[in-house]
């Protein structure tokens, strides 16, 4: 099989390429140039491209760089800015997977005559009589099925995830045994287009403007101020200047960007019985109305028992409010490793 491997310059994609070679596939590496601005904390720096190229040389495979910066600006960066400007919580990694890594990149690979693309994501694709399943990676602490929940049958039929069956320490051991330069390289943790030096504040301030806002309690009494209402997230506790003399923690329970106001309350004020999902996407068919599911609201958070009905996830017990825009990903209640799909909290 001819496989085009997305090589980010990290250890996971490096080992993914090596494993595919061991399995006898014809492998070519490709690094996606997505962000055209400054990068010092993510996976788009010049050093990362060089690491990917050097690993490809070590493995004896060809390496290419594809520039998708225009698509990245349109489908990832611009929505990220717009969501913050609207007081919502974006997840750019999910949108990058949806539009770039498993759409534009996959289409480019097929045009070039490849049979499949591969990445270093910690997740698994299982083939069944009914089609393809997206499953959690073997290393639960590194599982990335949450950010891949937007993949459907057409994409999964053309995707290989070679490290999904390995724990992260096994990946590093294999890289070290092969002498790969990325064996001890730290994992990328941050949004690739947000620099560690400037952070979200500098990035968004240059693109949409940031505005101070009043912080008030549930009764409307003033408590303090924040410098940028666009940076406040539902459930946030720090940086609100909202102690209010109560001695109890205060959390953001409402963010009103146009009104320049943040409402704070106690932890109980965050509890909700359900959340409505916008623009749901499914790996295969959606769960039946009224069926039990496991709902996960962060990349490595717990998957909690809930019920699915007409676009709404209803918890069996009240949970802290999900910030608008945040991804809610559903898993099979009887097979917790099987990802069903998900959507964004509205």
Name the catalytic one among 43, 44, 93, 192. Answer: 192
Name the catalytic one among 43, 44, 96, 339. Answer: 96
What's the per-residue H, E or C state across the chain?
Answer: CEEEEECCCCHHHHHHHHHHHHCCCEEEEEEEECCCCCCCCCCCCHHHHHHHHHHHHHHCCCEEEEECHHHHHHHHHHHHHHHHHCCCCCCHHHHHHHHHHHHHHHHHHHHCCCCEEECCCCEEEEEECCEEEEEECCCCCCCCHHHHCCCCHHHHCCEECHHHHCCHHHHHHHHHHHCCCCCCCCCCCCCCCCCCCCHHHHHHHHHCCCCCEEEECCCCCEEEEECCHHHCCCCCCCCCCCCCCCCCCCEEEEEECCCCEEEEECHHHHEEEEEEEEEEEECCCCCCCCEEEEEECCCCCCEEEEEEECCEEEEEEEEECCCCCCEEEEEECCEEEEEEEEEEEC
339 is catalytic: no
CB atoms within 10 A of CB 313: 25
96 is catalytic: yes
Two tokens, residue 25: 């596939």
Catalytically active residues are 96, 192
């Amino acid at each position: 099989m001819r496989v085009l491997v997305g090589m980010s310059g990290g250890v996971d994609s490096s080992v993914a390429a090596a494993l595919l070679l061991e399995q006898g596939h014809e492998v070519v590496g490709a690094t996606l140039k997505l962000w055209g601005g400054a990068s010092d904390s993510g996976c788009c720096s010049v050093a990362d491209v060089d690491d990917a190229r050097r690993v490809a040389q070590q493995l004896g495979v060809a390496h290419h760089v594809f520039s998708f910066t225009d698509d990245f600006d349109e489908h990832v960066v611009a929505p990220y800015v717009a969501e913050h400007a609207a007081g919502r919580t974006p997840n750019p990694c999910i949108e990058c997977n949806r539009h770039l890594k498993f759409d534009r990149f996959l289409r480019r690979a097929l045009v070039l005559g490849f049979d499949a693309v591969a990445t270093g994501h910690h997740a698994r694709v299982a083939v069944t009589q009914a089609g393809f399943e997206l499953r959690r990676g073997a290393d639960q602490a590194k599982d990335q099925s949450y950010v891949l929940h937007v993949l459907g049958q057409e994409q999964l039929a053309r995707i290989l995830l070679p490290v999904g069956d390995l724990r992260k320490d096994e990946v590093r051991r294999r890289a070290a045994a092969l002498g790969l330069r990325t064996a001890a390289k730290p994992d990328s943790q941050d949004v690739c287009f947000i620099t560690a030096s400037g952070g979200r504040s500098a990035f968004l301030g240059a693109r949409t403007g940031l505005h101070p806002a009043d912080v008030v309690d549930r009764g409307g009494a003033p408590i303090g101020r924040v410098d940028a209402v666009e940076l406040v997230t539902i459930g946030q506790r720090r940086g609100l200047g909202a102690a209010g003399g109560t001695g109890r923690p205060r959390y953001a329970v409402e963010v009103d960007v146009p009104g320049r106001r943040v409402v704070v309350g106690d932890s109980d004020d965050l509890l909700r019985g359900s959340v409505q999902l916008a623009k749901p996407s499914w790996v295969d068919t959606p769960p039946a109305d009224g069926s039990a599911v496991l709902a996960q609201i962060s990349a490595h958070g717990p998957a909690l028992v809930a019920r699915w009905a007409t676009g709404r996830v209803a918890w069996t017990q009240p949970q802290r409010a999900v910030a608008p825009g945040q991804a809610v990903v559903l898993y099979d209640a009887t097979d917790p490793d099987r990802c069903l799909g998900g959507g964004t909290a509205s």
